[in-house]
Amino acid sequence: MRTIHDKPLHSSGVRDFFSKYPGFLPQQDTLLNCKWSQRWFSWLQASVEEDTYTFQEVLQGRSGAEVMINDMPFCMLSSYDYLGLIGHADIEEAAIDAIRTYGTGTGGVRLLTGTNQLHEELEKSISHFKGTEDAMVLSSGYMANLAVVAALFSNKDLVIADEYIHRSIADAIKLAGITAVSFRHNDPDSLEQVLTSYSSTVRKLVIVEGVYSMDGDICRLPEIVRLKEIHGALLMIDEAHSLGVLGPQGRGVNAHFGIPAHQIDIFTGSLSKAIPSNGGYIAGREEDIVYLKHGGAPYMFSAAATPANTAAALAALRVMQEENWRFDTLWDNTHLLIAALQEAGIRTGLSATPIIPVICGDNESALHLSKKLFDEQILATAVIYPAVPEGKARLRLCCTAAHTPELLHRFVHIIRRVR
Ligand code: PMP
């Protein structure tokens, strides 16, 4: 009998594609007659030729500290599974039970026929965990950001976002046609300059992330909250990488700084990182949630989170609170890895959290380093321009509670050798 292991594995067909169509370039009269396609195909071809393409590697089985690729064990150093909860027996059981009770799909969008008891329970759990009045669950964190920005703001308003804000927020701003300006990354002085340079009558939304997804630094929330209050602005925090990571029991960035949740206007987050499921949430005031459940397009026009995903997220929230040792291990590992890399003379940028960039400079350097590590059976993915500013390409390492100190030391030993 054939199993998945018998199939040849490719990086999502990219290598295969260029062996079939060497030198391929998009033609004028096709779908690919679009702005970036020539550039992408030239780049893809070069990285396949130089053998530096290590994206979309196909994992056999679960993700975790150790994964299988091409029937070989690899050390995973770029997974968002911060608490090491992928594969937790209680979470898997909850997902399987949910399928038995509720089926595999929801048969609709949340607003119409797609809401079930698990969604309600998860929303109560999230709002309780975050200390907000209410919460709503959507099918991804991307959708959550889109829902908040596009449903609550328009071209009459001003969005003031950190320059390194996530793509989903940038897309939401574009979609809603909102005027947006950015302030220097995590710099309250720069935010203050922007806030003072616009009329006090314009409605302003400041958007930050709890932990920045590319640099791993923590948002300077106390100063930002002070500024938003002085200038009468609203504040949205994307907690995709801070929920489950910062604050007591992982309650997030405001808890980390001891700031009550009601001082933040609205939170968004993902259920696919520290919480090992899929989906997104919005948490905030009751009236805002009621409105977003009727005015947020991604909630109304995209399928509800599946029963398995919803139940897994619910179980994970409970496990997180029961297994506090995971936070201690996550942070012990984080401190160990940052210190060991710095001792080895490796630049880790602004990182103060489990997201640890290894700054390489140009795209090629980051890709080559990622490939050298791949050859040593280590998966540490490169993040390159345009996902990060030009000249700041990097490996983005993510520490988790599932790593062991031995494994992290071995990684540092190897990166020091191959760099
Ligand atoms: N916000 C940030 C900061 C993210 O990093 C991500 C995903 N990487 C998202 C939002 C989107 O979350 P999801 O994957 O659940 O759509």
Whether the predicted pLDDT of 410 surpasses 60: yes
Q: Bridge partners of 382?
A: 395
Q: Is 309 in the pocket of ligand 1 (CB under 6 A)?
A: no
Per-residue confidence (pLDDT) for residue 201, from 0 to 100: 83
Range from 27-41, 204-218, 396-410 carrying the lowest mean pLDDT: 27-41
Q: Is 254 in the pocket of ligand 1 (CB under 6 A)?
A: no
Q: What is the identity of the amino acid at 86?
A: I
> Which tokens belong to 58?
């196909």
Predicted TM-score (pTM) of the model is: 0.95
Per-residue pLDDT, averaged over 171-176, amounts to 94
Per-residue pLDDT, averaged over 97-116, amounts to 97
E-state strands within 95-229? 134-138, 158-162, 179-183, 204-209
Residue nearest to atom 15 of ligand 1 (CA): 141
Residue nearest to atom 6 of ligand 1 (CA): 240
Torsion angle of the four alpha carbons 245, 249, 253, 255, in this order, in degrees rounded to the nearest 10: -170
Per-residue pLDDT, averaged over 97-115, amounts to 97
8 band by pLDDT with thresholds 50, 70 and 90:
very low
Residue nearest to atom 4 of ligand 1 (CA): 240
pLDDT tens string 113-164: 999 999 999 999 999 999 999 999 999 999 999 999 999 999 999 999 999 9
Per-residue confidence (pLDDT) for residue 11, from 0 to 100: 58
Cα angle for residues 36, 38, 41 (degrees, 5° grid): 105
> Candidates 236, 266, 270: which one to mutate for ligand 1, based on the most atoms within 8 Å of Cβ?
270
Per-residue pLDDT, averaged over 52-80, amounts to 95
The backbone region for 312, taken as left when phi is positive above 0, alpha when psi lies in -120 to 50, beta otherwise, is alpha
Q: Is 75 in the pocket of ligand 1 (CB under 6 A)?
A: no
Cβ neighbours, 10 Å, residue 298: 24
pLDDT tens string 325-342: 999 999 999 999 999 999
The backbone region for 252, taken as left when phi is positive above 0, alpha when psi lies in -120 to 50, beta otherwise, is left
